[in-house]
Structure 1
Amino acid sequence: MARLLGLVTLLLIAGGTAQAQAPVPSIDDYAAMANMSSVSISPNGERIVFISGESRAERSIVVYSLVGAAPQVIDGGDDQVLAAVSWANDDNLLATYSERRDMASVGERVDVFRTYVIRADGSRNWELSQYKSLANRDIADPDSMLVWQPVLQDNRGSRSAGDGVERAVGLFRQEFSRDRSARRVFIGEGGFNYVLNAENEPVVRYTTDDGEFELWANLDDSGWDRVYNENLTRERFRFGARRSDRWTGRMTNLAGLDATGQFGYFTSRVNDDRAAVFRFNFETNEIEGPVVQSDLADVGSFIRDWRTNAIIGVRWAEERQRVEYFDETFAGIQSQLEGFFPDSNVSISSWDQDFRRVIISIGGGQTSQSYYLLDRQSGEMAFLAGAYDRIPDESVASVEIVHFEARDGVELFGYLTLPPGREARDLPLVMLPHGGPQARDFYGFDPWSQFLASRGYAVFQPQFRGSEGFGRDFITMAHGEWGRAMQDDVSDAVNHLVESGVAASDRVCLFGWSYGGYAALAGATLTPELYRCIIAGAPVSDIFAMMNYETGRFGGASVTYWAEYIGDWRSETENISRISPALNADNVQTPLMLVHGTDDLIVPFEQAEIMAEAMDAAGKPYELVAIEDGPHQSYRMTVDNVRELYTNLERFLFEHNPPDAN
C-alpha cells in the first residue's frame, strides 16, 4: 500500500536541498505499476480513496481516513484490470474495470469497460448496467446517485411527439442497494442530449438531426423553447461501398453551463482547424468567442465542479499542460501552485463539498507523479505519496521541449528525455515515435522514456504530422503519408538532433510500438543509413495483410479511417508495396528486434511473424521476442509483460548501441 506522509507547508515544499545522485533503479523498479493512482477525496472530506499495488495480483482499492479511523483495503481482483475509482457518495465507490471478453453478438474478442458500485467498507458490490452512465452525485440524497439510461418512449396516439415508439434518454435516481433499484426522475424526448443545472434538473437540450443542430432551453421552467439552430455541413469520405460522414458547424455540442446558468460552453473549430472554447449566452441567444484558444493546439477538455454541475475551466496540452479557470478561486490556487512547481504539470484533481480539502496532482519536472492534500483552512499541504515510489525524484530524468523544422517547412516539436548526469552532447539516441498514429505524447513522466534514459540514452519523442491535438489541418496533412512525409518527420528529427550536437550520428536507434513499430520498420527499410539498430514493437509490417484483418473485424468498421491515412491499398498496390516493410526486407542493413504480444487484438501477432518470414527469405538476421499473452495496450500489460519488454530492450541496446561509446 502506498505510504502516506505528514504535513508540510507550501513554503517548505517549494524549497529543496541538493542530494547525492541515487542508485539507478532496477528493471523491476521501472516495471512496477503505479503504487498510487486515481486519487480522490470523499464529498465530506473525511476519506481519500486510491488504487494501490505494484502488480496485478497486489492491486487494491485503499480507503484512507483523515479523521483517525483505520484504512480499509479492498481486494481489486486480478482477473480484470482495475482502471479507476472515485466516490459516488460518502459511503459508496464507483470502480471501473477493463476486461477481455468473447462477444458472441459481434463474433470478436474485445476489451470492455465495466463499472461497479462498491461499498467503501468493502461489504458488498454490484455491477452497474452497461447502459447506465453517471449523471451526477446527489449529496441531498445519500442513498442514491443520478444516472442516464436509454428508454423506449411510447408516443402512439400522440400528435405532438410523433405517432410511434422511439428511443429516448431518461434520468433516474439509482439506489446504492442494487442495480435494479432505480426510480425515474425525467424522461426526455427522443434524439436529444440533456444538460443539468445546479439542482440536477434538465434545463438545456440539443440535437443534431438530419444535418441541423438545435439548442433548446427551459431555464425558467416555463417550457422548452428553441433558442438556436443552424444547418450543418456534411463532409463525406467514400471508400468503395463504405463511407464516413462528419458534420461541421459553429455549434455541434454543449458541454455544460456555468455556475449562473447564463452561459453554455462548447468547443468548435476555428476556420475548421483547431478546436477552441466558445460559449452560448442564454440571455441574448448568441454565440460568444472564442473565449479560450491556442495558436498551437486544440482546446476543450472541460473542468466541471461536481457540486454544481458547472463548467469552471478548461485543460489542454500544448508543449506543456495549460489550464485556464473561469472561477476566480480555482484560478488563484492554480496560479499559486504553478508558481511553486514551475517545471511540473499541476492539476486540482478532487475536492470536498466545502472546498476545504483539495487533492493536488503534480507530474513532470523532477518528479514522476506526486499527490498532495491541500487544507485551504490552514494553508498547509500534505505530501500523500508518489505514484512510482521505487523511483526517487533524484532518479527522474529531465525532459526538454525541442523544436525542429521538417524538410517541407512544417514546424514540429518533440520531447527530449536526457540521461541523468550526462551532458547533452554526442549522446546515444533512441528515437521513440508514438503509436496511433492519431495520438500524441505529453510532457511529463513517460515510463518507457525514463527507463531508457536511466540506461544512459537520450530519448526523443517527435510529434510528427498526424499527431492528435494540434488541429484538423495537422491531422489531414498526414493522410496518405504513411512511410512518406510522416516518416520524413521522424528522419528530420534525427538530423536536427545530430546537427545540433545532442546525438552522435552513428549512435541512433529507432524504437516504437504499434504505429511507432511500423515507423521503426519503415526506418529500417526506407532510411536504414540513419540507424544503428531497430526495435519494432507490435508493428504493422504488411499493410495488405493488416487491411485484410481490419476488413474482417467488426464488419470493417474502421476501414474508412485506414483508407484516409494510408490510401486505397486495393488499387494503389505499387505505392503501398513501397511503404510495406515486409515487402522491402532486402533493404534492412541494421540489427533488428521484433517484439510482439501473442494476445494482441489491435495489431495481430501474425504481423511480426510476417516480418520474420520476410527477413528469413531475404537472408537477414533478426530477433523475434514473443511476449506470451501480451496485449497491445500498455495499460493492460502485466508486470511480467513489461519486465520482459524492458529486459530485451536493455540487452539489445547494450549489445548494438552501448551507452558508452565504443
Structure 2
Amino acid sequence: MAISGLIPRKTLFGNPDKASPQISPNGEYITFLAPVDGILNIWLAKSTDPDSAIPITQDSDRGIRFYGWTYTNEHIAYIQDIGGDENWHVYVVNIHTHQTKDLTPYDGVQARFQEISPKFSNDLLLSLNDRDPQLHDIYKVNINTGNRTLVQENDGFAGYITDDDFNVRFATRVTEDGGSELLEKAGDSFWKPFIEIGIEDTLTTSPIGFDDTGTILYLVDSRDRDTAALVSLNLQNGDTTLIAESPHADVSDTMVDPNNKNIQAVAFTHERKTWIFLDENVKKDLEYLESISQGEIEIVSQSFNDEIWIVAFVLDDGPVRFYKYNRPEQQASFLFTNRDSLTDVNLSNMHSTTIKSRDNFDLISYYTLPSESSNDSGIPDSPCPTVLLVHGGPWHRDTWGYSALHQMLSNRGYAVLSVNFRGSTGFGKAFINAANLEWGRNMHNDLIDAVNWAIDSRIADPSKIAIMGGSYGGYATLIGLTATPNVFACGIDIVGPSNLLTLINSIPPYWQPQIELWASRVGDHRTEQGRKLLSERSPLNYINNINKPLLIGQGANDPRVNQAESDQIVDAMNENGIPVTYVLYPDEGHGFVKPENNLSFFAVAEAFLSKHLNGSYEPIDDDFEGASVTVPTGASEIPGLKEAL
C-alpha cells in the first residue's frame, strides 16, 4: 500500500552532500567528495576555511568514489573504471591547475595502488596486468609525466609486499592445498620461503606493513590461536612480539602514526568496535573526542605530522558527523555531515544480538525494527513482516551503524535482520573455516536458524519473510527460494551466482592466482567430485522448487558474477513458466554505483516487497530519470513498473 509521510528514497539513496573527507599530508588543505551536476567529484579548500571549497575534477559519468593524496601535496590520485568493468585507471589531478592525467591509459587493464611513499613524492608504485591478464607487474610511475619503470615482473604470485623505499620485500602465493606462503626476495629472480600459512589460517593471517626502519614487519596473525592478533616480527633476529589480541574477535582496524609508522591503537569488532590503545596521547585524544559528539569514533585521515585529524562520528540513526581535530591544541571544529537531510527524518536504531546456531556457533547479528514498532525492549508489540538481508563476500561481515537499506525497510514497516553466518570475517578462524565447502548447506542453515530466532522472539511474522542480498547474498537468496522455498514469501537477488560451476569458470583472469582458495573453500571445478559438489549447491539445478516471487538485479559489465549467471536462471524460469522480474543495467558491474541506477532499483524493490509483504511503499515516480534501467522480463509483476518504463 502506498502512503504519504515516508522518507523519500532520494534522501536515503541519492548522492551524499559530502563524503570521504581527507586532510593533505602537510595539513594545508582539506578535500571531500560532493556532487557536481549530480556526479560525485573531488572538492578542495584550505583546511582553515572548508566552506570555501571548489571542485577540482570534472568527472561526468560514474562519479569518483576512491581517492587519496600524494606526498607532493599538490596532486590527488583517484581510480575510475568504465561501466563497472573493474579495469581501474589511475588518474592524478593537480590541485592548482585542475588538470587531470590518466597515468594508466591502457584498455582492458586493471591498475592497482601498490605503494605511496613520502620518500618518492613524485612517483607512485602501481601494479598492472597489461603483460599478462592474470598477473600484476609492479611499475614506478611518475606523477607529472606518466613515465613508468618496471620494478617487478610477476612470475606467478598472487601479490607483493613493498616498503617505503619502493623495494619489493615479499611475495605471496596460494599453495595447492589452499594455504598460502610468504616468500622473501633474496635476489633479482630468487625467492626463498619465509612464512608458511596453513589453509586454516589463510583468511586470518597476513602482513599489513613495516615500521619506519623497514626491519619490523607487522602481521595480523591467527597461527597458534583462534582469533587473529596483531604481532610484530623482527626481520633481523626473527623475534615475534604480541601487540594486541582479543579472545572474541580478530583485529579489525589499526591506527598508525603516518610519520614514524608506530602502531597507536588496535581495534577489535565483535558486536561493536572497541579499541586497545598503545599510545597514551592518542588515548587522551579519543577520551576528549568522546565528549564532542555521540557515535562511534573513526579517525578517517591524518596529516603526515599527525597533528591534524579528520574525525568521523558514526551513528545508527543519523548522518555521519565530521570534525577537524587539532591535536596540539586539543580542539575539534565541526565540518559537516554526509547527509544533512537525515537530521530531519525519524530514523530507527539498530540492535545487536548473538544468535546460537544449531551446532552452537555464535552468530553476531543486527536487526532494525519498523519505525512505528521501535521501543526500548528491542521487541515489537506484534510480529512484523521481515526482510533477511544477507551480506556479500561471503568473506565479509555486517557491522553496527547507519544503513540506508535498513532505514528504508524499517520506515516501510519491515523488521530487518542481518546475520554474520559462518564464513563471515572477524570472528576467528574456526568460524570462518566452518564455511569450507558449505555453500548452500551449513552457511544457509545459519540463516534459517536466525529466521527461526526472529520468529521465536516474536520479531518476524513467519508468513511474511523475504530474503534479499547482493553477490553471495544474491546466491543465498536463490538458495533460500530453492532449498527452503516454504520459509520465504519472496526474494531479491542482486548480482548473485546461480551456477557455481559457471561462476568459477568465468572468474576474472587476475583472480586465477588464487584459484586454490576457491577450490578448497567453495569446491574444486577441476575434479569430478568437486564438480558434483558444485552442481549440487547450484540453485539453477533446482528452479522447479521455486514457488515464490523473485526479483533479480544485474549489471551487464559485472566481471565477478557475469550477466550469464542471471540470464541463465531467468531463461530457465521463463521456460518453466515460473514468474520472475529481471532488472538489467547496461552500464553497471558488480552492484549499482550510479545514484540514478541505485535509486531506480530500490524503487522497483520497494514496490516488489510491498506487493508480497504488504508493507508501505513510495510509488515509482521520477525514479527512473537518468537511469539506464531495463526490464527484459516480468515488468508487469510489480506495481507501477511497466508504466514507469
Task: Provide TM-score, normalisation by structure 2.
Answer: 0.78
Contact 2:296 2:315 (C-alpha < 8 Å) held by counterparts: yes
Q: What's the offset of the Cα at 1:461?
A: 1.0
Q: Which position in structure 2 is the counterpart of 1:375?
A: 326
Distance 1:135 1:386 in 2: 29
Q: What's the offset of the Cα at 1:283?
A: 9.3
Greater mean alpha carbon deviation, residues 590-599 or residues 489-498 = 590-599
- Alpha-carbon spacing, 1:537–1:80, altered in 2? closer, same or farther (3 Å): closer
Contact 1:206 1:216 (C-alpha < 8 Å) held by counterparts: yes
Letter in 2 for 1:399: M
Q: Which position in structure 2 is the counterpart of 1:159?
A: none
Q: Which position in structure 2 is the counterpart of 1:115?
A: 90
Q: What's the offset of the Cα at 1:558?
A: 5.6
Q: Deviations over 1:416-454 (max 9, x none)?
A: 123323233212110011112122222212222222222
Letter in 1 for 2:209: A
Q: Which position in structure 1 is the counterpart of 2:224?
A: 271
Q: Is 1:303 the counterpart of 2:255 in the alignment?
A: yes
Q: Which position in structure 1 is the counterpart of 2:335?
A: 384
- Alpha-carbon spacing, 1:137–1:450, altered in 2? closer, same or farther (3 Å): farther
Q: Is 1:95 the counterpart of 2:52 in the alignment?
A: no
Match of 1:255 among 200, 209, 216: 209
Pairing of 1:513-528 with structure 2 (within 5 A): 513-528=470-485
Letter in 1 for 2:399: F
Distance 2:497 2:112 in 1: 34
Contact 2:45 2:53 (C-alpha < 8 Å) held by counterparts: yes
Q: Is 1:328 the counterpart of 2:285 in the alignment?
A: no
Distance 1:443 1:362 in 2: 13
Q: Which position in structure 1 is the counterpart of 2:18?
A: 36
SS at match of 2:396: coil
Distance 2:125 2:579 in 1: 56
- Alpha-carbon spacing, 1:119–1:576, altered in 2? closer, same or farther (3 Å): closer
- Alpha-carbon spacing, 1:263–1:389, altered in 2? closer, same or farther (3 Å): same
Distance 1:368 1:438 in 2: 27
Percent identity of paired positions between Structure 1 and Structure 2? 24
Q: Deviations over 1:64-118 (max 9, x none)?
A: 22445943322341245412333324741322122138xxxxxxx9413333332
Letter in 2 for 1:314: V
SS at match of 2:31: strand
Q: Which position in structure 1 is the counterpart of 2:99?
A: 124
Distance 2:319 2:354 in 1: 24
Pairing of 1:567-606 with structure 2 (within 5 A): 567-568=523-524, 571-572=528-529, 576-606=534-564
SS at match of 2:92: strand
SS at match of 2:559: coil
Higher relative contact order (CA 8 A, sep 6+): 2
Q: What's the offset of the Cα at 1:619?
A: 3.2
Aligned residue-pair number:
578
Greater mean alpha carbon deviation, residues 600-609 or residues 517-526 = 600-609
Q: Is 1:448 the counterpart of 2:405 in the alignment?
A: yes
- Alpha-carbon spacing, 1:283–1:568, altered in 2? closer, same or farther (3 Å): closer
Letter in 1 for 2:99: R
SS at match of 2:611: helix
Contact 1:516 1:536 (C-alpha < 8 Å) held by counterparts: yes
Contact 1:29 1:390 (C-alpha < 8 Å) held by counterparts: yes
SS at match of 1:83: coil
Contact 2:163 2:214 (C-alpha < 8 Å) held by counterparts: no
Match of 2:54 among 68, 72, 81: 72
Larger radius of gyration: 1
Contact 1:366 1:393 (C-alpha < 8 Å) held by counterparts: no
What's the C-alpha RMSD, in Å, of the aligned pairs? 4.1
Q: Is 1:650 the counterpart of 2:606 in the alignment?
A: yes
Select the structure that is richer in strand: 1
Q: What's the offset of the Cα at 1:284?
A: 7.3
Flag structure 2 segments of 5+ consecutive residues without an equivalent: 105-110, 128-135, 187-191, 618-645
Distance 2:196 2:587 in 1: 45
Contact 1:598 1:631 (C-alpha < 8 Å) held by counterparts: yes
Distance 2:67 2:204 in 1: 36
Contact 1:403 1:412 (C-alpha < 8 Å) held by counterparts: yes
Letter in 2 for 1:59: L
Q: Which position in structure 2 is the counterpart of 1:429?
A: 386
Distance 1:251 1:614 in 2: 41
Task: Provide TM-score, normalisation by structure 1.
Answer: 0.76
Distance 1:379 1:334 in 2: 10
Distance 2:124 2:143 in 1: 12
Letter in 2 for 1:255: G
Q: What's the offset of the Cα at 1:654?
A: 0.9
Distance 1:422 1:149 in 2: 51
Flag structure 1 segments of 5+ consecutive residues without an equivalent: 1-21, 102-108, 151-166, 218-228, 237-245
Letter in 1 for 2:23: I
SS at match of 2:340: coil
Greater mean alpha carbon deviation, residues 502-511 or residues 310-319 = 310-319
Letter in 1 for 2:456: E
Q: Which position in structure 1 is the counterpart of 2:447?
A: 490
Distance 1:513 1:506 in 2: 23
Distance 1:439 1:393 in 2: 32
